[in-house]
Structure 1
């Protein structure tokens, strides 16, 4: 008479049930006396708990306990052990380094790190195991976590693992085709070559009817199939299409990056929902994989079949991988082309910059020499000074444009917005540009509304926009020419048109003229120079104001029109006095300290201040300025920022720390004028921030803020 086995009973002393599958029974029946763990009843509660959790788990797990990392494992881990699992008496209670001697060099450091307190995760880690009598390459994903004993010390490791060899083999097969595609396109110099190789290899591999690659237009609707591979007899689908042809259900998924998968068009697509498009080209099954980058649909790859076909998950994954790889290669080629173009334009820009800087330097140098050898000639001094002033102003304008581009590119331009009239902006721009327009013998015509038109914007920047357009018109118009500025309010916007009778713009260059360093073709008889950044600035500044700008031209030699659209101010503002107060003259008793390591700059500024009636002391580094300040007792201090020994920031902090300098005005002189540069000088204790070279008007305005009584 047979006796039924006793039911499983939980043993509180062991910490795990009398179950846990086959390995649970093996662990309970194993003689642990001669192992490093000792008899089962002597195990600490922490080990019992860990072993109970492990044995009850359905996922492959093991516990490595104690200094020797003695191995315990559950039923599902036996698959990892292979034939070794047939003899558990040779594994249980053995140190990990004995059981897995062939991979100890890999696993040992991982377990040591976990015993030191780290929790680790590895995915598809390769190992060479000898578990079935021969060495084999396997892959596993696993995590290791430390186990603490009753005292809180780390006493063992819990590992949760799974073998991923099969998955990795499938991935390797897909990668073989992708490496093949990569090799075929690695040296391709044109996007169409990459498309041709990718679609052909994928089509032949899948034995498909057609494989097509498409780029998406910025409107997120139109797409262009630039190339497709087809079997013999199948028609090409190269052309421009709308996503709406796929039908509403498919289109909504494609736009967010979900693959369109259809095994049978006749049963899965309704009339009016994409059925007609695929039926027209004789297609019954489709994989269409969209590629979304930074939230925007950028490309698609479609695989077509003439008859119904049940696509596998691996086939879909392969197409998804190929479209991503194909797009990456195409972008690489396009980026390389863009870099070559950028290098070419940069080289042209540097050559132009050198030319543009030499242009004003030549008359300045000549004027200096003429003043030296003929200062007594009537009227010479005034003419030469006027020449130098014009040329220095030209250089300052060039440098200001460069700084503006740098600020805009880094997002550091902050508009000083206020209500301003269109008429005042145009007047300011005309005042700036009129000398160049008149010097070229051009006629300038204005057509502005009689009533004030109010805008919300930065008056200086808006004037700069129009001034740049007028300056360009004057440069690129044969003399005598006609330049016009016309404006009117239309549907909540002000539309400003700047027209000229100049050299015109070719149709293909209408958009390119707004790119960095872009210039019209050179013409010795027409061009007056420039860095090719004026129109780039125009577009950036107009965009910052919420507007737009576009160029139109009938063609070369037929003039150009630049049209700006800007939003009108929401509510008309009251008329206000737009006159600017003139700076008060400096008081004769002001004591001014100057520090600049550029000796010429320091001395000339000192001479200018002296001519303005100030008492001046000039120093040539920050340390000299700090040492001279107590005895000189200045009311105002001009400090260059980049000085040796002690820079302007350090000198400002040192002066602010002197009780005797309480109330002294500090002025930073620097070539850096971004908002964070101004914030930094303010934090260092400066009252004013002047960009080099500071004009006499700016210096006078600063002097007006200081008085001897200010301290």
Structure 2
């Protein structure tokens, strides 16, 4: 019979062991739960790899950051999330750590789920069992992008500083800075702009462009950005547009950006003392998600570039001021020596011919002229000094502008006559009443007239026009002189500035006339500007002064020369034959129209701008600028539309009529013009205007 054993009762020890196992399992599950929670809450990426270095199973934080699911990162698939430029060195470092069972550490760029690459510090350590065999790897990625971007930004800014350290002109600084910034960011274009003092216009002095991209160098209005962006930039807020087509409307700058093939932009304004002074931008020809680090880089680049450029400009200004002062002293000596020499010689002559009363009188007149010249020169110097110190006292009175013009012309006529110039005056008949110091404003007008007389070749023309523009009186002085080159336009109002001045070519004066004129005009709350005008052969200066308050408040009165009971026409007669022009003009007045006369093309264009004629009779065969050329120029002045042009010529065949029509003429009359035909033509035009 087989032996049987009684059942063994469960021992107390076994029950205790089972409970311990269950407790350990619960703790393990709780630990894993805490680990998962830590991974999900951490800004770092925690991951586990097999002993062979393969990522397997679920890697929660890796998937959350990179967007890679397990199917993509398993094994060595995680390398696809590493930046292509960093991939090979990352793989080599990982294989080296696996081979040596040593710590793995590297910095590389890891692609985030949104496609942006971030700099990461990656580390992993092996986990060993009791026998010293690697069982797995535990790794972590820590985001160091901000630190790396700051380091990178500082390195680039330092490199820019080093590259421009010895630059002594603004253009070089702009060229180097825009090139280095543009290449670093891999953009299409990088422009640098100065903002003008009116806080509206900005001038792109230089831009770096990638191959094939167009340059944007030129002057623009800030309003092209649209009202919102322009306002933001005036207040120093950076414009960041990642996609022009989706973020901007046509009126908000989209049209401007599309015109230069710019689809994404960072534009950083620089505001100093409440004024927008400069801008730097980067343009991309495709949409681009700009990072905060990229925006910060452009902002710091424009700040440093502007500061460096301003230092260079300040140094240049000091050098230029020193040069001008040296030149000024030389010219001052020259100008003082000029009158002193004849005065000294005159005294000698008077001693030698003291009984020759005619000679003594002639020498005395000469000496008075020379002393007057010296007094004028010294007075100008004293005026500049008083204005600089702020103690020049104005003595304003109520005065008509035409009286000031007459006073200035009287003073300048000897110089104008000495150079055989022709002076034309055209001052509006309506009241242009000012509250001004008559001596000072006459001095301003005289300074500009004297400049025109000095720098216009003998036999030239000087034209003075005056009219009302809103609450201001405008005085325009134009000449047919040498003109002012663009490079001198910005400095012509500065102290001791002379266009093309040299000791052997000096036209007289110290180069302070226009500087003094500007300061005196500004003391009267007015402006004086050099105007670019293609219709003027030489120079044009416009002086604007505020009208007296009660005059400014009134509606502009109709000039009787520009209106004829509301039914007449404004007629411009242009003919180099003065008698013929005057007779035709007399006819205009007799039949109820208002007329003006010009005897050459340039004068006609200047007069048309102020007179705004309804009809212009143009002689075709004028010397210099013929009637065809005047007609084309008038047609190019949109403010004159609608303007009826009538050709006056001795030629009347079909070819002549066709040519006048091509030049823009509406009618063609044969000289001598039939007065009945002229009157009939004007009557028809009046009827058309009424209809």
Q: Could you state the TM-score of these two structures normalised by the residue count of structure 1?
A: 0.48
Larger Rg: 2
Q: TM-score under structure 2 normalisation? A: 0.49
